[in-house]
Structure formats: structure tokens, C-alpha cells
Amino acid sequence: MTLCFEICIGIASRSGAEWKTHRTFALGGLRDFGFGKKSLEGKIIEEVEIFLKNLDEKKGQPICLDSYIHISIGNIICAIVFGKRFEHGDPVFIQLLALVNENLSLAGIAGLLNLLPGLRYIPGDPLSGGKVLSNAATIFKYIGDLITGHREEYNEDNIKDLVDIYIKEMKKQEGQDTSFTDFQLVNTVADLFVAGMETTTTTLLWAVLFFINNPDVQKRCHEEVMEVVGEGRFPSLSDRSQMPYIEATITEILRRGDIAPLGIPHATSEELEFNGYVLPKGTMLVTNINSVHSDPLLFPDPGRFDPSRFIDNDGKVHGTERVIPFFFGRRVCMGEALARSELFLFLTSMVQRFQFKPEDPDNIPPVKGNLGITFKPCEYKCIAEKRL
């Protein structure tokens, strides 16, 4: 178990037959409770409405969006995994999200302990390894308590969520040599919870920051939403094919925000030779996704935020396959469909109802970020001005 992935070891760090078994099982369970179904869109829209209501209550006052977005996105994955949502003022849920955020932000420096484990004995915890482990223990306990509650209320004739599906499978395999254990269940839930919340939240934070720095892009997105949807209803996933500029903008946010520039570490399954180097079996490999997203041969002037680079002469979306924030192949992120649905429904609804402006027009927050497990924008405040 590596320290920097202490709260993400359910499926992402598995390999071989065990990885395939649990990934396939989790995907099946996720589909049963929303993935690829109309019911999932309803869950997202419910959180969109609550999120926009909270923005409206700020009455145009400067606001840091981080916690509002985190809770809204967290509630979507909670509805699928736990069969419940949490109120935005729930102190326990807020504390849990704060611990997750802290561990993700500390992962960069604490990750040095994976390379130099002896550093953990330096007095004072200068690399925050002890803090990461302490936070992870609290997170695991919280998830474990929720699972215990599910066990107490479990009814095989009324499977309500993904945790119930796992409990059913664990009961089915009782007495067998199986990887469907309490430990695996807690870690799988932690994996899905953190991954399903953090990446989308970070992308939406980048989106608003790019809108503030590129008001012309925000204006064009608003115009497209109004042309297709108007103001009488919320946007729907069925509108997506009619909104090429929105799709291009989301793609450019994913490229320029580059929220997972180094992806998740992989390992060689057998010895191989690459560019004259022999890589033994089990060698850790880190994928440099940033080198793709910032390649000037693929994206001229890569530092410029420009959604039109993904619009062809006929006004259609093209070239999006070159942007790989969810990776590709067998290890592609299994939450990609959920994340893309969330991004579309949140962003279109946000620009439909609000215009996002800097707190101080003479001091626009810069497009800068901090690297933890994800690349997250530096904290900023904005004004969400309701459209009349």
C-alpha cells in the first residue's frame, strides 16, 4: 500500500484477475443504480437545483465555490453508493470532505515517503505522512460506519444501492476463498467516493476560473444554451448534441485544466524493452498526460484557452479524442460517463442562470494551480450574478 494512495486503494491500484473481477462487478453495480440511465440524470439535476439555489442566496456577494461544488458532486456519488444524500450544512459530511481535500492536497509532499520511507521517522512529521494516515483512518471509519448501518438494515429483497450489492455478493461467497471482503468493500467505496467527487469538482472550479478570465467564452456558452434551451427549463443530456460549443468548451477545460497531469501509476505486467531500456516486471510507470495536453503539434499555442480549436469549419466538434483526462484503454476511468454528464448539466445550468465575474475587476484571479493527487486551481472568490 503506498502512502499517497492511502485513500484510493479499492480498484485503481489492483491488477490482474482481482482488478478485473472488482472493476467488472463495480461497473455492473453502478449501472444498476444509475450509470447510463435516465434516473442518473434526475439525481444530477436535483443537486444542480440545490447548488443554484445556494448561489442565489448569496445575492451577488463574493463566494468561494469549492465547498458548494464538493457537497453537490459528493451527493451524486453518495446517492449511487450509499442510497442517500447529505444536506449542505451537515457538519459531519463537511468534515469528511475537508479531510479528503486535505489528504489530496498533501499527497504531493507525503508521496516522497514512498520513495524514501526512512523519512517518516523524522520528528515533527515534516512531510505530513502521519497527518495523511490519521485523516485516512477517520475517513475509513466513517465509511465503515455507513456500511455497518447497511448491514443492520440489509434486505435481500430490497437492494437499494451499490453497498447492498456488495453485501449480497459477500453473503453469496461466505466460506469461500474470495476477495469480496469487508476490507475490499471499504476500500472500493473510498475509491469510488474520492474519485467520483474530486475530479469533477476540480474541473468545475477550473471552468469558473476560465470563464472569469475569458468572458467572451462564457458569453458564447450562455448564448448557445439560450438558443437551444431558453430559460423555461433546465438543460438536459438530450440537448448535448445541439451544443457543440459547450462540448468544445468542456474539452478545452479538461485539456487546459489538466486535472490529473500524471494520471495514476501503473506497473509492467511482464519484462519488456522500451527505447533500448529493459523494464523488469512490476516496474512502476507514471504516465505524463500533461505532455499530451500541452503538445504544440497537437494544440497550437497550448497555453491559450481556446474552445474553438475543437470546432471545425462546419461548426461541428472535432479532435476531442486527443484530450485524455480519463486515460484510455482497459484502465480508462470507469466514472467517465458520470463525470461528463455532471460537467454538461452543471455548466450549462450555471451559465443559463448566472454570470460569473471576478470579485475585483481590477484584480482577476490568475490561472494558477497546486499539484496534489490532482492539479487544482489556487483558491479564489468570484461573484455569481443572477441573470434577469
Total Cβ atoms within 10 A of residue 297: 6
The span from the CA of 259 to the CA of 106, in Å, is: 16
Q: How confident is the model at residue 25 (pLDDT cuts 50, 70, 90)?
A: confident
Nearest residue to 325 via CA among 249, 264, 243, 369: 264
d(CA 177, CA 15): 18
What pLDDT sits at residue 197? 83
Q: Which residues pair with 285 in a beta bridge?
A: 266
Domains of the chain: residue spans and CATH:
16-386 (1.10.630.10)
pLDDT tens-place string over residues 55-111: 999 999 999 999 899 999 999 988 888 888 888 888 888 888 888 888 777 766 666
Nearest to 12 by CA among 184, 254, 161, 261: 184
Q: Give one DSSP letter per residue of 226-246, joined into a string.
A: HHHT-SSS---GGGGGG-HHH
Among the listed ranges 109-123, 148-162, 219-233, 331-345, which one has the minimum average pLDDT value? 109-123
Indicate the Cα dihedral angle 28, 31, 35, 39, nearest 10°: -170
| Residues annotated in a binding site | 333
Three-class SS state of 164: helix
pLDDT in tens, 218-268: 999 999 999 999 988 999 999 999 999 999 999 999 999 999 888 777 788
Report pLDDT for 4: 37
pLDDT band at 343 (very low <50, low <70, confident <90, very high): very high
Q: Annotated binding site for heme, which residues?
A: 333
Cell matching residue 287: 504516465
